[in-house]
Amino acid sequence: MNERKSSFRPLRYLGVYGALCKNSVTREMIFKANFVLWIIVELLWFALQLCFIGVLYLHTNHIGTWTKWQVVLLVGGSQFIQQLFQAFFLTNCTNLSELVRNGKLDFLLLLPVNTRFVVSFRQLDLGAFVSAASALAVMVYATHQLHLLPSAMQVFGFLVLCFAGIAIHYSLMFLLAAISFWTVRAQGIVWGYYNLFNIARLPDDAFRGLFKLVFTFAIPMLLVSNVPVRVLADKLGSPKPVLLLFGMAIVCFTISEWGWRASLRHYTSASS
């Protein structure tokens, strides 16, 4: 089954996205207790990670070239990127296999908008924005402890690089979710990739050899958080990591789009 084509009109797609966001807010408000409980769980998990860093630095002063508060800044940056990804894309990527299995994808293919757009942005996780705000608060505190005052260009560069990191996460997870066109269920593979996010919280200087190569070029986890935070912490020795991050984002999205189109060509609808 081929994806139905439609001309790209930004205002039209903004209207569609606005309707999807409104629907997400309505759904979250129906289950208020679940909304609040999930925020509490995420904040406790984030606090636990910070406690682990505190315990770790009771026994050392540096991990590679990273000091304690630089690592706290890194953990905060990683949490910020992960929570923004979770807010916009996580639920939608994990739900793709269900759309294939129960036939709801047939309905989405008939809509006069790009199918990937609808599949990717159907739901918005509002609680993740609260967690992202807590991560920003930790980053501000860490920069204060480091006596850093990032310039406007550094902050802008950090945000742009965060966008590139989110694009990498989204592209790879969406590509893995598209496996469901062949296997029907792919949640295990998708959540397996999500668990790899913990690697992004670690300083890249702590790794060597094959592990570092794999998680820099094959699955670029070490780029996603380390490069943006290096910009804020004045630890960027050359522009090569920045160019590599952007290059990997483009490569990952291109491969993801190719995989998505190949999957749609394979799809024959749930009723066939």
Give the contacts of 120 (CB within 8 A, at least 6 positions apart): 89, 92, 93, 170, 174
pLDDT at 10 > cutoff 80: no
pLDDT of residue 272: 53
**Average pLDDT score, the chain:** 87
The pLDDT-based confidence of 79 (bands split at 50, 70, 90) is very high
C-alpha 15: how far from its chain's center?
Answer: 24
Alpha helices, DSSP H, located in 57-151? 68-85, 91-102, 104-110, 115-121, 127-145
Q: What is the mean pLDDT of residues 37-57?
A: 88
Over residues 121-170, the pLDDT tens digits come to 998 888 899 999 999 999 999 999 999 998 999 999 999 999 999 999 99
CB neighbours (10 Å) of residue 219? 17
232/265 Cα distance (integer angstroms): 44
User: 270 with 100: CB under 8 angstroms?
Assistant: yes
124/90 Cα distance (integer angstroms): 9
Query: Which residue reads 């990273």 in tokens?
Result: 66
The reported pTM is 0.89
pLDDT at 77 > cutoff 90: yes
3-state secondary structure of 258: helix
The pLDDT-based confidence of 184 (bands split at 50, 70, 90) is low
Over residues 215-270, the pLDDT tens digits come to 888 888 989 999 999 999 888 888 899 999 999 999 999 999 999 999 888 877 65
Q: What is the mean pLDDT of residues 86-111?
A: 88
What value does the CA radius of gyration of the chain take, rounded to a whole number of Å?
Answer: 20
Question: By percentage, how much of the chain surpasses pLDDT 70?
Answer: 94
User: In the beta sheet, which residues pair with residue 66?
Assistant: 63
**Domain segments of the chain as ranges:** 10-266
